[in-house]
Structure 1
Amino acid sequence: MPTPLSTASSRDRIAQARVVVTSPTRNFVTLVVTTEDGTVGIGDATLNGRELAVAAYLDEHLVPLLVGRDAGRIEDTWQYLYRGAYWRGGPVGMSALAAVDTALWDIKAKRADLPLHQLLGGRSRDKVRVYGHATGETIEETVADVGRLIDLGYTAVRAQTAVPGGTGTYGVSRPGEIYDPAHGSLPEETVWDTRSYLTHVPRLFEALRDTYGFEIALLHDVHHRLTPIEAARLGASLEPYDLFWIEDPTPAEDQTAFRLIRQHTRTPIATGEVLSSVHSVQTLITERLVDYVRTTVTHAGGLTHLRRIFDLAHLYGVRSGSHGATDLSPVCLGAAVHLDTAIPNFGIQEYMAHSALTDSVFPHSYRFADGYLHVGEDPGHGVHLDEEKAAEHPYSPAYLPVARLADGSVHDW
């Protein structure tokens, strides 16, 4: 029986696949795939706090299967690596598979001499609306930070503020630093107070609406901290402030929990950044329990699988809202912007600008202007890897925090 190894012409075959781990400000895992004719494609495999697990999965299990395969048979390769594995799925496996898939799409578009969005059906829009992140130790600081982002052109802003009675609140930057929760060789342990949070957050959004009115879209990330009824209470209390969404109101593994939240609030709901499969969001989408699905190119098996998720969501009036924090590399963002440009049910794209150092290691053709990302027209996804610069920044261990309640018990972070 012919296989992708035997039917591919020599120029179409994958000649080499290599994993590059680099830390220009943050840790990133990149797969570099080269065909026999010298075409290079790259994919992002970054999994914050578990980078080396994905690198090992690629090096030890997937890379040996790629050499000699037809780089153009993207769907077959996806099925071969996913369905052909008995132990499949999960964030490590899907991030590794995503890197392969993204690199192959990059190669296909480069060989066609077309920007990637043209292979995904062409433009559905001229530009991609994004939201930025505003933070502060106090409500006043967050209000001022929202103003800073409005001045930069953002039309949508996620607002987070420190919670009285807690320490190391999620989403709040350290003084004078770009927000990055991953630090050190052991996890930081933070303190969480749900009661204080539920009373404090509505005050933040009351202050924001009093200051900026209702023209700016405001978002908030709960980060899986609440039980379903607590999340329902929060959503109801925020209804007067017309939020664009509340994100991850409760741990997303239990899709049925969102039924209770939906019964009690009309505040839109977004979730999915920690989910890696269409099966993990199937109930959320088909029962219309969320308004935005936040799965990503890197963590949901690449462009091939993420497109399936968004196509299912489109049938049920659910829009995309992909995770796009700086714990994913510019390779992921570049690929995401092409998909955002093409799909009919795009909602919004998270965008935290990478550091100048990161951008120098991953030069790219997408650009930000006036609250939107504009997709590049270079062949492929338009993001490249400067391996010489990458080698100057070796991997640096960094863990995400662990949250505890005041009594010392572990809570969802």
Structure 2
Amino acid sequence: MKITGAKVIVTCPGRNFVTLKIETDQGLYGIGDATLNGRELSVASYLTDHVIPVLIGRDASRIEDIWQYLYRGAYWRRGPVTMSAIAAVDTALWDIKGKAAGMPVYQLLGGASRDGVLVYGHANGNDIEHTVDEVGRYIELGYKAIRAQSGIPGVKGAYGVAKGTMYYEPADSALPSETVWNTSSYLNFAPKLFDKLREVHGYDVELLHDVHHRLTPIEAGRLGRDLEPYRLFWMEDCTPAENQEAFRLVRQHTTTPLAVGEIFNSIHDCRTLIQEQLIDYIRTTVVHAGGITHLKQIAALAALYQVRTGSHGATDLSPACMGAALNFDLWVPNFGIQEYMRHTEETDAVFPHAYTFDDGYLHPGNEPGIGVDIDEALAAKYPYDPKQLPVARLTDGAMWNW
């Protein structure tokens, strides 16, 4: 089955997405997500200028060989642009293989390991009272696990506070907007938030929290210790992980479960974290970590150390990525949880999909391939709209981690 054509589709049904569509001589096609939030056109160019020309004429069934060709054949390896492009090709090829076999991808991976995929939603509030109400609303929607974020008194633009009631999209302007961060205010505030959440909602619901790389290792250790009474499912991205050894210090000071990895691009970004059991959940995702083929390697390494998966699943990943992730999640033995931020109605219309939500769980469905398609005519009605993620400064004006 030869690859006869491929094209990049850039569309903005509420936010920007980059999709690769690969076509074959047997009339089958597959799609893969290539979205890199705020840097979408860099991946679109990489695919168009450097990847698609070398795909034409190759055997679409040789997924592993094509992955190795795109990874080993590029002298400048890894990085978010390269790995997102490889992921798009890889996902599209798995989609094609599933369609050729008449099976969903999870069946090709080895079949289901569970009946459904536990997911968590995002409850975002302007203050504690608002966040408590939002968590309650997600409980009513059927969620069994909820990430809770709140505005912080005196902190402009605290991470995770949505402008609407359901959809959260941080990329907000053509040039990056600026927010202000105050670590001391946050460290004093966060335990109060979870104290109130447990008081109102009890301990039957799983609660998660995203620190978004804002703390030093010792600050993260302090926060994790302070949050221990509230039994979080995890504390996410507590400190930047370019220096993986930094998590040794965090681990020494808290038993709060740790999750990290949504910005990782390869197994090398998390080897130390996994092998030294410095984390409990690895959050690498299909689109940014080289596709299903590479995610299998990361999960296999993690399984040796009882680290579970918890893939990133924000709205900066298209339904094509969610479909691929859910097929992976349903199969992978050491699954933990899947992030699930709902897309807008416009996005769902552009990307019709088979996955469904019921009582706190998602299922990818049983359509052949990844179970997601793209309506190209509808996608063309939503032109690219330049948007970038914010940046953060400390109260003294110094740059910090957004």
Is the CA contact 1:165–1:192 (under 8 Å) kept in the aligned structure 2?
A: no
1:276 to 2:237 alignment:
no
Which residues in structure 2 correspond to 1:175-194 (within 5 Å)? 178-194=167-183
- Residue number among 64, 76, 98 corresponding to 1:109 in the alignment: 98
Which residue identity does 2:52 align to in structure 1? V
- Structure 1 residue 332: deviation in Å? 0.3
C-alpha distance 270-176 of structure 1, shift in aligned 2 (>3 A): closer
Equivalent in the alignment of 1:329: 318
- Structure 1 residue 179: deviation in Å? 1.3
1:253 to 2:242 alignment:
yes
1:135 to 2:124 alignment:
yes
Equivalent in the alignment of 1:152: 141
Q: Residues 51-83 of structure 1: CA distance to partner in whole angstroms, max 9, x if unpaired?
A: 000000000000000000000000000000001
Equivalent in the alignment of 1:196: 185
- Structure 1 residue 103: deviation in Å? 0.2
Counterpart Cα distance in 2 of 1:133 and 1:21:
26
Equivalent in the alignment of 1:299: 288
- Residue number among 7, 12, 23 corresponding to 1:23 in the alignment: 12
- Residue number among 77, 84, 107 corresponding to 2:73 in the alignment: 84
Is the CA contact 2:14–2:346 (under 8 Å) kept in the aligned structure 1?
A: yes
C-alpha distance 187-116 of structure 1, shift in aligned 2 (>3 A): same
Which residue identity does 1:307 align to in structure 2? K
Q: Residues 149-201 of structure 1: CA distance to partner in whole angstroms, max 9, x if unpaired?
A: 00000000000001122111110012557211101111110000000000000
Equivalent in the alignment of 2:388: 399
Which residue identity does 1:62 align to in structure 2? V
Counterpart Cα distance in 2 of 1:374 and 1:80:
32
Counterpart Cα distance in 2 of 1:394 and 1:283:
42
Structure 2 residues without counterparts, runs of 5 or longer: none
Equivalent in the alignment of 2:351: 362
C-alpha distance 334-176 of structure 1, shift in aligned 2 (>3 A): closer
- Residue number among 264, 287, 302 corresponding to 2:276 in the alignment: 287
1:316 to 2:305 alignment:
yes
Which residues in structure 2 correspond to 1:366-381 (within 5 Å)? 366-381=355-370
- Structure 1 residue 38: deviation in Å? 1.1
- Larger displacement relative to structure 2 (218-227 or 172-181): 172-181
Is the CA contact 2:167–2:341 (under 8 Å) kept in the aligned structure 1?
A: no
C-alpha distance 49-293 of structure 1, shift in aligned 2 (>3 A): same
TM-score scaled by structure 1?
0.97
Structure 1 residues without counterparts, runs of 5 or longer: 1-11
Which residues in structure 2 correspond to 1:234-253 (within 5 Å)? 234-253=223-242
Equivalent in the alignment of 1:49: 38
Q: Secondary structure at the match of 1:32?
A: strand
Counterpart Cα distance in 1 of 2:29 and 2:199:
51
Counterpart Cα distance in 2 of 1:145 and 1:278:
36
Which residues in structure 2 correspond to 1:346-361 (within 5 Å)? 346-361=335-350
Is the CA contact 1:270–1:294 (under 8 Å) kept in the aligned structure 2?
A: yes
Q: How well do the aligned residues superpose, as a CA RMSD in angstroms?
A: 0.7
Q: Residues 240-261 of structure 1: CA distance to partner in whole angstroms, max 9, x if unpaired?
A: 0000000000011110000000
Is the CA contact 2:167–2:343 (under 8 Å) kept in the aligned structure 1?
A: no
Which residue identity does 2:18 align to in structure 1? V
| Identity among equivalent pairs (%) | 64
Q: Residues 198-234 of structure 1: CA distance to partner in whole angstroms, max 9, x if unpaired?
A: 0000000000000011110000000000000000000
1:217 to 2:206 alignment:
yes
Counterpart Cα distance in 1 of 2:384 and 2:161:
25
Q: Residues 354-391 of structure 1: CA distance to partner in whole angstroms, max 9, x if unpaired?
A: 11110000000000111000121000000000000000
Q: Residues 70-116 of structure 1: CA distance to partner in whole angstroms, max 9, x if unpaired?
A: 00000000000001111110000000000000000000110001111
TM-score scaled by structure 2?
0.99
